[in-house]
Amino acid sequence: MALEHTGAEAARPFVEKAGATFPTVIDEEGLTSTLLGFKLVPNGVLVDGDGTIRYAKYSGFSIDKPDDVAAVARFLEGKDPGPGSQKKAPYTLGEAEQELVATKLRLGRLLDSLGRRDEAIAEWQAALRLDPENLVIRKQIWVARYPEKFHPTIDWDWQKVQLEKEKQEEVASGVCGPDGCPLPGYSRMRP
């Protein structure tokens, strides 16, 4: 499941390089992020035969990590895969806000597919202001605005600096508080 708000083709080189034999599904609107509540990838989710989620590790899941592979192996043997980890954001979106985020992501995708990238970025930024800890959205905006930082190689050091810079700007502009996003009482409920 590749999250690619700027279109499916971004995923293709990685899938081909990996020689993936399993189906690759593309989430161009951040639907899965909304429905499962994760804010970053890579994630591993294990689902049993009746469609029940049995394990979720959000952020940092890798087939190169022995613990993650062991969880999958236990699950395939019919055993308990273990606890996984579902990091909680410091806030929970309200139903109406979540719907608004989803709508803005969908509209952004539509505008981007029509070649109206500036308008798409504006919608994605509006979604990010509602869900400022969502790094899936934040990074999609970076991909659209700063493609040279992602192709031909991903500049991870730049991402760290950029994230810090944006967080400081968000504190300065009042979107976030000094202890994170969003400010308490900023129309959200804390869990």
Partner 1 sequence: MAIAKVAQVGDPLPNITLPTLNGGELALDELRGKRVLIFFWGSW
Q: Which residues bind partner 1 (CB under 8 A)?
A: 1-4, 8, 10-15, 23-28, 31-32, 34-38, 41-56, 61, 63, 72, 75-76, 84, 86, 92-99, 136, 139-140, 142-143, 150, 154, 187, 189
CB atoms within 10 A of CB 57: 24
Nearest to 127 by CA among 140, 112, 114, 116: 140
Query: What amino acid occupies position 22?
Result: F
Shortest gap between Cβ of 26 and partner 1 (angstroms)?
5
Q: How far apart, in whole angstroms, are the C-alpha atoms of residue 52 and residue 63?
A: 22
Least spacing, CB of residue 172 vs partner 1, in Å: 26
Contact criterion met (CB below 8 Å) for 116 and 123: no
Least separation in angstroms between residue 121's CB and partner 1 is 15
Query: At its nearest, how many Å lie between partner 1 and the CB of residue 35?
Result: 4
According to DSSP, residue 32 is labeled H
Nearby residues of 3 by Cβ (< 8 Å), 6 or more positions away: 27, 30, 32, 33, 41, 136, 140
The residue (of 96 and 172) whose beta carbon lies closer to partner 1 is: 96
Q: Which residue's CB is nearer to partner 1, number 49 or number 178?
A: 49
Contact indicator for 128, 138 with CB cutoff of 8 Å:
yes
Nearer residue to partner 1 within complex by CB, 154 or 161:
154
- Distance, CA of 95 to CA of 78 (rounded, Å): 35
Cβ closer to partner 1: 60 or 171?
Answer: 60
Least separation, in Å, of the C-beta of 145 and partner 1?
Answer: 12
Cβ closest to partner 1, residue 1 vs residue 161:
1
User: Least distance from C-beta 176 to partner 1, angstroms?
Assistant: 20
Nearer to partner 1, 78 or 178 (CB): 78
Indicate the helix (H) or strand (E) that contains 144.
Answer: helix 135-145
